[in-house]
Amino acid sequence: MGRLLSPMVKRGRKTRVGRGFSLGELKEAGITPDEARRLGVPVDSRRRSTHPENVEMLREWIARAREEGIRAPKPRQEAKPPRGRVYRGLTSAGKKVRGLRKSRGFRGLP
């Protein structure tokens, strides 16, 4: 699953795609963590390093996002699972609870 915007993280000689932008990178780019999350920018609060390439990439992306009015996609709500047999009144107990069964009255001693 690819993201629209991913930071680069360096460790030793290796460079890899990071989990999110550090708080220092967001601060240098002039954006708060809450605003970044609203725009759909990944934030990694555990990272402490600040890479100039990430800051530059973030500034360009934010400028383009503000021009185009990009917003983070809202998470889709999952459908509820189907109700059980008792709730739908398919069993005698379910029919009794929902009032679909006639009452037979009191059957006791005379």
Please give the residue that has the higher pLDDT: either 71 or 56: 56
Q: Please tell me the pTM assigned to this model.
A: 0.59
Quick one: average pLDDT of 38-53? 90
Please state the φ and ψ torsions of residue 8, each to the nearest 5 degrees.
Answer: -100, 135
**Residue 73 pLDDT:** 64
Q: Please name the residue that has the structure tokens 């699972």.
A: 81
Instruction: Name the DSSP class of 87.
Output: H
Q: How confident is the model at residue 91 (pLDDT cuts 50, 70, 90)?
A: confident
pLDDT of residue 65: 81
pLDDT-derived band at 33, boundaries 50, 70, 90: very high
Choose between 39 and 51: higher pLDDT. Answer: 51
Q: What DSSP letter does each residue of 14-79 carry, written as one string? A: EEEE-SSB-HHHHHHHT--HHHHHHHT--B-TT-----HHHHHHHHHHHHHHHHHT--PPPPPPPP
* pLDDT higher than 60, residue 62: yes
Q: How far apart are CA 48 and CA 25, in angstroms?
A: 9
Q: From residue 1, give the alpha-carbon distance in Å to each of 4, 30, 44, 97.
A: 10, 28, 18, 47
Confidence check: pLDDT of 99 > 90? no
